[in-house]
């Protein structure tokens, strides 16, 4: 088993294929974190914790004469609060007498031969993996609070998952004001923090900063994981690159308000805590009740950032995304949005579908505007009934007619939203998240439904269920086009308003779970104004997420590259759209647009009436190539070939098939230069002694030459030129 407990040393040791994680119970029952990193054998790493007295760092009462022992200095596995540790804490709570002190001590533990699950929340599935669980229980007997620390170990995949469960074993209600899913302390090491900031249409931009003596916070309180700060961070040692050095990844499997805090303390130790954002959070934990925190996913790499990313890619593809979509080719779709916006009818839709079918597209997705009185974004959200003045015979007729010509049908929804100008709002204004004493904040002319309310959940489910039962729909695009504000539920008492944000996202999860259970073969693509809810929590229900509303391929290179640090290409919704681009006005060749979009789920958003015969021929070729390369792209090992620190004038990336017999090399010039230097791109993941040839040519290279000297590209004088090359292993 990959988990050991050494009773004589009170030591817990978790091992994966290439990492070791260690904890120890000290003499007064504090659970210490002693190590996480490369395997070190059976060494008790607590020797690294020095006994040093420091001023203004108090001592637990039972060993108060031991001035060198202080919670303010000890590396802890999950912190107490208000009892001497003045660094960031992983929990804040108020007991019945108003006290905010919590003092957790070790109670017991179990080793289990299977993976735990989490009630009402997404988690990493075990599937066929050999997974075991460590369960450690800490307790504060005075206030009657018990915490269960859970560790799931995916040994062969180098993944450890963590979560906590809080149980009120007392007789009075405890108010939780902060519950983090993970706390981890690193001893006296200098780190860089990598996180992924952004905004709408420019999500998950790579940013790297050296940690200083302060508290760095990465968070969202927008009611979603957000365009601005993804719930995924990396700590790296300072010399780490894509292929060299130690780095640690931490991903929160949650789609709502989140917060990661990293503090470098007075002795240069680094603490990271991650979980639900404590802003707007207040939970009444009644006697005998349990609070389940979201899961976090951890991995360590001593081979740089590419290997760290690949660990996350494997676990997300194989253990988070719905299993039924892992081994089937997903549809190549045409979405009508940029072709028609709200201005469409049955005739336009059928015409566009037939045009797309001719070039090889196999799914038509009808976007916003098909329901209620929805002719613009001012009305109709919540009224999920087809507008038969646009679509005579409704969705039933449209889906059957599309099926008859050989085209599958997909449909856009925005289930969590409502317009004031809707029949639903007229009937149930109390179903909106809204402070009853204030006028609401309006965004995109819409408000947010109260998904913490089971009646609202049931209405949405019944509305979607009725449509799915009556039509042949193979795909749902699930959108979410504004942040939460006025977060107040009319269905909850005043004392529980701090629970609404978390209950809202749990309501969304519950809806998705119900739909997945009844319609397991209907593919749901997540979306939130593009990539505003691109996280592991949503991927548990949706095997792909629309990566960004920005479809400009040059902007997309950075968005998709940033996304790749944590998430696999198979989850990235990516389409070829019009040129000039509707978001940036940039004009990029159809070839380049295709190569960029192929590093995703692939599809189109185009008005075929504006395409030439040459364009249509190019699209046919792109689709043929995508089908040919499908499994290399979707399941191959992904490598970033250009370093963010180099500020290169091109981006390059590579896919290596699992058996290493095929390599797909991609390159796009982002800034053409006069009298340019020659790009020499060093490939990765090849067998150095074997021979590879470029398909369609007579060129041959050893793996060593390609990896250590590089492949040379000859550039033309051309904006945003691109290359896609397949290398095949010589037999």
pLDDT tens figures, 330-348: 999 999 999 999 999 999 9
Q: Look over the chain and give the mean of its residue pLDDT values, rounded to a whole number.
A: 96
pLDDT, tens only, 20-34: 999 999 999 999 999
Contact 507, 444 (CB under 8 A): no
pLDDT at 647 over 80: no
Torsion of CA 531, 532, 536, 541, to 10 degrees: -80
Contact 106, 25 (CB under 8 A): yes
- Strand partners for 133: 112, 152
Q: Which of 59, 23, 66 is nearest to 185 (CA)?
A: 23
Contact 652, 682 (CB under 8 A): no
- C-alpha to C-alpha distance for 711 and 720, rounded to whole angstroms: 19
Q: Residue 55: which residues within 8 A CB-CB, separation 6 or more?
A: none
Please give the pLDDT value at position 64.
Answer: 81
The pLDDT-based confidence of 62 (bands split at 50, 70, 90) is confident
549 an active-site residue?
yes
Q: Which of 665, 617, 659 is nearest to 640 (CA)?
A: 665
- C-alpha to C-alpha distance for 483 and 456, rounded to whole angstroms: 18
In this structure, what are the phi and psi dihedrals at residue 187, rounded to the nearest 5 degrees? -90, 120
Does CATH place domain 641-729 in 3.30.1360.120? no
Helix, coil or strand: residue 458:
helix
The pLDDT-based confidence of 58 (bands split at 50, 70, 90) is confident
Residue in 180, 265, 450, 549 annotated catalytic: 549
Q: Which of 628, 624, 604 is nearest to 553 (CA)?
A: 604
Torsion of CA 691, 697, 699, 701, to 10 degrees: -30
pLDDT at 714 over 80: yes
pLDDT higher for 52 or 297? 297
Contact 720, 690 (CB under 8 A): no
Please give the pLDDT value at position 713.
Answer: 93
- Strand partners for 727: 663, 694
SS (H, E, C) 7-50: HHHCEEEEECCCCEEEEEECCCCCEEEEEEECCCCCCCHHHHCC
pLDDT, tens only, 311-324: 999 999 999 999 99
Strand 363-366 relative to strand 408-413: parallel, antiparallel, unpaired? parallel
Catalogue the E-assigned strands of 169-201: 174-186, 191-199
Please give the pLDDT value at position 608.
Answer: 96
Determine the longest span between alpha carbons in the chain, in angstroms.
86
- Strand partners for 528: 531
pLDDT, tens only, 189-199: 899 999 999 99
- Strand partners for 174: 285
- CATH code of the domain occupying 3-320: 2.70.98.60
- C-alpha to C-alpha distance for 421 and 445, rounded to whole angstroms: 9
Q: Which of 702, 560, 541, 597 is nearest to 332 (CA)?
A: 597
For residue 494, the tally of other CB atoms under 10 A from its CB is 7
Please give the pLDDT value at position 194.
Answer: 98
Please give the pLDDT value at position 648.
Answer: 83
Q: What is the DSSP letter of 245?
A: B
Please give the pLDDT value at position 286.
Answer: 98
pLDDT, tens only, 525-583: 999 999 999 999 999 999 999 999 999 999 999 999 999 999 999 999 999 999 999 99
Q: What share of the chain is helix, strand, coil (3-state, %, to 5)?
A: 25, 30, 45
- C-alpha to C-alpha distance for 122 and 524, rounded to whole angstroms: 16
The pLDDT-based confidence of 627 (bands split at 50, 70, 90) is very high
Instruction: Calculate mean pLDDT across residues 83-109.
Output: 96
Token pair in block for residue 128? 């066929």
pLDDT, tens only, 610-620: 999 999 999 99
Token pair in block for residue 639? 């490598």
Percentage of the chain beyond pLDDT 90 is 93
Please give the pLDDT value at position 297.
Answer: 98
pLDDT, tens only, 413-445: 999 999 999 999 999 999 999 999 999 999 999
pLDDT, tens only, 280-289: 999 999 999 9
Token pair in block for residue 499? 């629970």
pLDDT, tens only, 362-420: 999 999 999 999 999 999 999 999 999 999 999 999 999 999 999 999 999 999 999 99
Token pair in block for residue 173? 């209600």
Distances in Å between the Cα of 22 and the Cα atoms of 51, 66, 186 are 19, 24, 12
479 an active-site residue?
yes
Give the architecture (CATH level 2) of 325-633: Alpha-Beta Barrel (3.20)
Please give the pLDDT value at position 320.
Answer: 98
In this structure, what are the phi and psi dihedrals at residue 672, rounded to the nearest 5 degrees? -65, 140
Helix, coil or strand: residue 583:
coil
- C-alpha to C-alpha distance for 548 and 531, rounded to whole angstroms: 5
Residue in 140, 278, 479, 552 annotated catalytic: 479
DSSP letters, 303-329, are: BHHHHHHHHHHHHIIIIIS-GGGSSSP
Burial label for 718, CB within 10 Å (0-12, 13-18, 19+), is exposed
**Residue count of the chain:** 731
Q: What is the DSSP letter of 646?
A: G
Percentage of the chain beyond pLDDT 70 is 100
Contact 256, 504 (CB under 8 A): yes
**579 CA to centre of own chain:** 29
Kindly report, as residue ranges, where domains of CATH 2.60.40.1180 are found in the chain: 641-729
The pLDDT-based confidence of 644 (bands split at 50, 70, 90) is confident
Q: Is the dihedral of CA 410, 412, 416, 420 positive or negative?
A: negative
The pLDDT-based confidence of 674 (bands split at 50, 70, 90) is confident
Please give the pLDDT value at position 616.
Answer: 97
Reply yes or no: is the peptide bond before residue 580 cis, omega within 30 of 0. yes
Q: What is the DSSP letter of 229?
A: B
Kindly report, as residue ranges, where domains of CATH 2.70.98.60 are found in the chain: 3-320
Q: For 129-133, 538-542, 676-680, which range has the lowest pLDDT when averaged over its residues?
A: 676-680
pLDDT at 675 over 90: no
């Amino acid at each position: 088993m990959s988990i050991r407990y050494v009773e004589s040393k009170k030591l817990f040791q978790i091992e994966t294929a290439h990492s070791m994680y260690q904890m120890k119970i000290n003499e007064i029952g504090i659970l210490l974190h002693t190590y996480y990193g490369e395997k070190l054998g059976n060494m008790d790493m607590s020797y690294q914790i020095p006994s040093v007295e420091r001023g203004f760092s108090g001592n637990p009462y039972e060993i108060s004469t031991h001035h060198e022992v202080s919670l303010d200095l000890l590396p802890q596995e999950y912190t107490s609060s208000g009892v001497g540790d003045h660094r960031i804490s992983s929990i804040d709570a108020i007991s019945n007498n108003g006290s905010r002190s919590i003092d957790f001590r070790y109670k017991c533990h179990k080793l289990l031969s299977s993976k735990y699950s989490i009630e009402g929340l997404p988690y990493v599935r075990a599937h066929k993996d050999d997974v075991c669980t460590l369960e450690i229980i800490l307790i504060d007997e005075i206030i009657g609070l018990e915490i269960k620390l859970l560790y799931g170990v995916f040994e062969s995949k180098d993944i450890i998952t963590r979560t906590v469960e809080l149980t009120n074993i007392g007789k009075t209600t405890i108010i939780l004001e902060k519950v983090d899913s993970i706390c981890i302390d690193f001893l006296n090491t200098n780190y860089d923090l990598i996180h992924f900031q952004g905004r709408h249409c420019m999500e998950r931009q790579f940013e790297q900063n050296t940690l200083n003596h302060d508290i760095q916070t990465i968070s969202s309180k927008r009611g979603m994981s957000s365009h601005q700060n993804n719930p995924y961070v990396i700590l790296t040692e300072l010399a780490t690159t894509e292929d060299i050095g130690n780095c640690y990844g931490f991903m929160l499997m949650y789609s709502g308000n989140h917060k990661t805090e990293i503090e470098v303390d007075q002795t240069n130790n680094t603490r990271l805590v991650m979980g639900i954002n404590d802003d707007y959070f207040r939970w009444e934990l009644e006697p005998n009740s349990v609070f389940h925190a979201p899961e976090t996913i951890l991995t360590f790499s001593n081979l740089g950032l590419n290997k760290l990313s690949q660990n996350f890619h494997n676990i997300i593809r194989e253990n988070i995304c719905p299993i039924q979509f892992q081994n089937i080719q997903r549809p190549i779709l045409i979405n009508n949005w940029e072709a028609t916006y709200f201005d469409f009818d049955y005739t336009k839709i059928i015409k566009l579908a037939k045009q797309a079918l001719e070039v090889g597209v196999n799914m038509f997705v009808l976007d916003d505007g098909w329901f209620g009185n929805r002719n613009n974004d001012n009305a109709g959200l919540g009224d999920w009934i087809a507008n038969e003045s646009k679509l005579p015979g409704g969705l039933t007729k449209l889906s059957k007619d599309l099926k008859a010509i050989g085209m599958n049908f997909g449909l856009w929804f925005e289930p969590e939203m409502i317009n004031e100008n809707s029949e639903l709002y007229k009937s149930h204004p109390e179903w909106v998240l809204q402070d009853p004493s204030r006028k609401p904040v309006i965004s995109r002319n819409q408000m947010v439904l109260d998904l913490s309310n089971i009646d609202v959940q049931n209405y949405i489910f019944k509305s979607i269920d009725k449509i799915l039962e009556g039509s042949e729909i193979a795909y749902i695009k699930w959108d979410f086009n504004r942040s939460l504000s006025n977060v107040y539920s009319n269905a909850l008492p005043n004392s529980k308003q701090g629970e609404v944000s978390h209950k809202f996202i749990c309501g969304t999860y519950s809806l998705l779970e119900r739909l997945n259970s009844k319609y397991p073969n209907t593919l749901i693509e997540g979306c939130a104004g593009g990539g505003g809810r691109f996280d592991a929590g949503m991927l548990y229900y949706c095997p792909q997420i629309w990566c960004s509303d920005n479809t400009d391929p040059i902007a997309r290179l950075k968005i998709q590259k940033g996304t790749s640090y944590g998430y696999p290409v198979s989850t990235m919704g990516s389409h070829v759209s019009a040129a000039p681009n509707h978001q940036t006005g940039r004009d990029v060749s159809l070839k380049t647009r295709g190569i960029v979009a192929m590093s995703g789920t692939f599809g189109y958003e185009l008005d075929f009436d504006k395409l030439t015969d040459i364009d249509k021929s190019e699209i046919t070729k792109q689709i043929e190539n995508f089908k040919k390369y499908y499994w290399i792209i979707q399941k191959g090992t992904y490598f970033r070939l250009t370093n963010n620190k180099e500020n290169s004038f091109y981006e390059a990336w590579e896919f290596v098939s699992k058996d290493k017999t095929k390599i797909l090399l991609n390159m796009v010039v982002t800034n053409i230069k006069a009298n340019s230097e020659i790009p020499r791109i060093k490939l990765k993941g090849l067998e150095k002694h074997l021979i590879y040839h470029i398909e369609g040519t007579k060129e041959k290279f050893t793996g060593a030459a390609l990896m250590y000297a590089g492949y040379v590209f000859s550039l033309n004088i051309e904006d945003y030129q691109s290359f896609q090359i397949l290398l095949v292993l010589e037999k």
